[in-house]
Amino acid sequence: MRLVLTAASVEARRAHERISDLVLVAVRSASDPTARGLICDIFERRVIPPLACALGGEEAEDRARLLLVLAAGVEVVRDTPAAAEIHRDAMRPLIVRIVREILSTPVGPPRKG
Protein backbone atom coordinates (compact mmCIF):
# COMPACT_ATOMS: atom_id res chain seq x y z
CA MET A 1 0.00 0.00 0.00
CA ARG A 2 1.42 3.34 -1.04
CA LEU A 3 0.88 6.50 1.01
CA VAL A 4 0.34 9.66 -0.95
CA LEU A 5 0.74 12.91 0.96
CA THR A 6 -0.97 15.93 -0.47
CA ALA A 7 -0.49 19.54 0.54
CA ALA A 8 -3.96 19.42 2.09
CA SER A 9 -3.18 16.34 4.20
CA VAL A 10 0.10 17.85 5.40
CA GLU A 11 -1.66 21.11 6.31
CA ALA A 12 -4.43 19.18 8.09
CA ARG A 13 -1.82 17.35 10.14
CA ARG A 14 -0.10 20.62 11.06
CA ALA A 15 -3.43 22.15 12.07
CA HIS A 16 -4.17 19.09 14.22
CA GLU A 17 -0.80 19.43 15.95
CA ARG A 18 -1.37 23.16 16.61
CA ILE A 19 -4.81 22.48 18.07
CA SER A 20 -3.42 19.62 20.17
CA ASP A 21 -0.72 21.92 21.52
CA LEU A 22 -3.30 24.59 22.37
CA VAL A 23 -5.53 22.07 24.13
CA LEU A 24 -2.57 20.85 26.17
CA VAL A 25 -1.64 24.43 27.17
CA ALA A 26 -5.27 25.20 28.02
CA VAL A 27 -5.63 22.14 30.22
CA ARG A 28 -2.39 22.77 32.04
CA SER A 29 -3.14 26.50 32.48
CA ALA A 30 -6.78 26.14 33.59
CA SER A 31 -6.04 27.20 37.17
CA ASP A 32 -4.56 30.55 36.09
CA PRO A 33 -7.35 33.02 35.24
CA THR A 34 -5.15 35.16 33.00
CA ALA A 35 -3.80 32.23 31.00
CA ARG A 36 -7.26 30.67 30.79
CA GLY A 37 -8.67 33.93 29.39
CA LEU A 38 -5.93 34.17 26.77
CA ILE A 39 -6.37 30.56 25.68
CA CYS A 40 -10.16 30.94 25.47
CA ASP A 41 -9.69 34.05 23.35
CA ILE A 42 -7.32 32.19 21.01
CA PHE A 43 -9.81 29.34 20.70
CA GLU A 44 -12.69 31.71 19.96
CA ARG A 45 -10.78 33.77 17.38
CA ARG A 46 -8.38 31.33 15.75
CA VAL A 47 -9.49 27.75 16.30
CA ILE A 48 -13.28 27.61 16.40
CA PRO A 49 -14.02 29.68 13.24
CA PRO A 50 -11.86 27.63 10.84
CA LEU A 51 -12.90 24.37 12.49
CA ALA A 52 -16.57 25.38 12.22
CA CYS A 53 -16.02 26.34 8.59
CA ALA A 54 -14.49 22.93 7.89
CA LEU A 55 -17.37 21.18 9.68
CA GLY A 56 -20.06 23.21 7.92
CA GLY A 57 -23.74 22.59 8.37
CA GLU A 58 -26.03 23.47 11.21
CA GLU A 59 -24.55 24.67 14.49
CA ALA A 60 -21.00 24.22 13.23
CA GLU A 61 -19.53 26.52 15.89
CA ASP A 62 -21.26 24.61 18.70
CA ARG A 63 -20.00 21.32 17.27
CA ALA A 64 -16.49 22.76 16.98
CA ARG A 65 -16.63 23.75 20.66
CA LEU A 66 -17.80 20.25 21.61
CA LEU A 67 -14.85 18.72 19.77
CA LEU A 68 -12.49 20.99 21.71
CA VAL A 69 -14.19 20.06 24.99
CA LEU A 70 -13.80 16.38 24.15
CA ALA A 71 -10.12 16.89 23.29
CA ALA A 72 -9.53 18.73 26.56
CA GLY A 73 -11.27 15.98 28.52
CA VAL A 74 -9.20 13.29 26.86
CA GLU A 75 -6.05 15.28 27.63
CA VAL A 76 -6.98 15.57 31.32
CA VAL A 77 -7.84 11.89 31.71
CA ARG A 78 -4.81 10.72 29.77
CA ASP A 79 -2.49 12.13 32.45
CA THR A 80 -4.27 10.53 35.43
CA PRO A 81 -3.20 7.28 37.13
CA ALA A 82 -6.61 5.79 36.33
CA ALA A 83 -5.88 6.19 32.62
CA ALA A 84 -3.15 3.58 32.92
CA GLU A 85 -5.83 1.09 33.93
CA ILE A 86 -8.04 1.91 30.96
CA HIS A 87 -7.36 -0.06 27.84
CA ARG A 88 -6.91 2.65 25.24
CA ASP A 89 -7.71 0.29 22.43
CA ALA A 90 -11.06 -0.43 24.07
CA MET A 91 -11.81 3.29 24.43
CA ARG A 92 -10.91 4.23 20.86
CA PRO A 93 -14.18 2.95 19.28
CA LEU A 94 -16.24 4.85 21.85
CA ILE A 95 -14.36 8.09 21.19
CA VAL A 96 -14.73 7.55 17.44
CA ARG A 97 -18.51 7.14 17.87
CA ILE A 98 -18.71 10.31 19.98
CA VAL A 99 -16.72 12.33 17.43
CA ARG A 100 -18.87 11.01 14.58
CA GLU A 101 -22.00 12.00 16.48
CA ILE A 102 -20.65 15.52 17.06
CA LEU A 103 -19.72 15.83 13.41
CA SER A 104 -23.07 14.71 12.10
CA THR A 105 -25.70 15.86 14.59
CA PRO A 106 -26.93 19.37 15.40
CA VAL A 107 -26.29 20.23 19.03
CA GLY A 108 -29.18 22.31 20.28
CA PRO A 109 -32.90 21.79 20.46
CA PRO A 110 -34.72 21.45 17.15
CA ARG A 111 -35.14 24.79 15.45
CA LYS A 112 -38.64 26.05 14.87
CA GLY A 113 -39.20 26.42 11.20
Per-residue tens of pLDDT for the chain, all 113 residues: 344 445 555 555 666 566 667 777 777 777 888 888 888 888 888 888 988 888 888 888 999 899 888 887 777 777 666 665 666 667 778 888 988 888 887 666 655 55
Between the alpha carbon of residue 70 and those of residues 5, 75, 76, the distances in Å are 28, 9, 10
What 8-state DSSP symbol labels residue 6?
-
CB atoms under 10 Å from CB of 105, counted, come to 12
